[in-house]
Structure 1
Amino acid sequence: MASTTEPSEAVPSTTAGGDEGVDADTSTVGSTSEGSTTTVAPRLGTVTLSGVGLTVDATTDDEVLVGFGDDANTALEHVSMALGEPIGDSGWGPDGACTAAEVRRLGWGGLEIVLARESADDPGRLVQWFLDGPDSTRTSWWTLERIGIGSTVADLRAAHGAALSLEQPSDRDPAGWFDTEPVLGDGVLGAVGNTNESGRVLIMWAGDGCRRRFS
């Protein structure tokens, strides 16, 4: 497999990598009656990521969509009920990488959510999630299409087909950036260590509240 190199444009994150507060499960491979192998999709964790927010207990009768623009306290309550109390909390304050007057970043290992408000009287809203850290096979943080940290460019193409945008900014660096829904603007974005089929997803995010790409 080709080696992966992080994009030269480093993307900041205020959360430390880890897999606390999640229920991990890895994909399995079994044999069919004909003797060929079949890949079983990894089990989703208690929080599933998407281009429009996060879903708690996705694909169950109890699933709850926590969407971008939802009330900040309500969003935090739903995510905390699923993952436990955050292990990182910046508190409210200005952030040069974000568009709102004040933001609050909360982290659960490699997963960060960003809340934003315009004043102390503003209840705030959910504007972004960001993921880095360990592979999603360890953390169970996936999109519904099972795209996560450690997924490959081939996985991205299989999940999103012709809609996928993949670019390599520099000929001197094999790393690249992807967007799963560039036309509608409500996709998942991220970086891969290499733009060939075996290149791995290094970071990913959705929501436009804070800048993650600096190129």
Structure 2
Amino acid sequence: IVTLNRIEFLKNLGLAVDKFTVALLPGSREKEIERHLPVMCESANILHKDFSKIQILIVRAPSISEETITNYSKTLKVPFKIVDKNNYNAINAADFCVVSSGTATLETALLQKPMVIIYKTSFLTWLIAKTFVKISDIGLVNVVAGKRIVPECVQFQAMGTNIALEAKTILTDETKIAAIKSELKILKNSLGESGASQKAAQAINNFLNSTSDGQRATGN
């Protein structure tokens, strides 16, 4: 639930209200932070070259210490704040989000924020997953929608350069931004504010049941 509007939230953090704001949501597990946050920070540094007025919100899950976030964000060369109170306030205050695949993508979708989804895991886990789970999308937003609404940078593609390129492709195209927001609005309405998680789970289950050997029924 959003409890503060964008201006109030940014002012409370001591951040500028007129700067382009990017929220980084690296995940809720130590290994996710280790694998995701450095490349997220790299992408932010690259975006800084094209969007000089940029600031970063790093959303810290309760399961992750502030020290861990600080350690893995040392390469960040733009103003940033670590947010650990209300994910929704941070997402709402952002112009764009880089999100670890998981429920955070649905939270971001409910607030209709353009995003890039990323995910990296160990090579062995990835190899096993690729062998037994044959689906084209892993982001819950795209899975629930039944099509790719927002870009995904997964495993070997989850590099700062690729994330920044996907973000820039969206952010420099007003038509693309509008299209993504429109699709996210449709998704939000289909899930509803109440019971969104349960509806999302059901949608994912339906999706998996409708595939053959993990592939989309359409063969895509």
TM-score of the aligned structures, taking structure 1 as reference length: 0.27
Question: Which of the pair is proportionally richer in helix?
Answer: 2
Question: Which of the pair is proportionally richer in strand?
Answer: 1
- Between the two structures, name the one with larger relative contact order (CA 8 Å, sep ≥ 6): 1
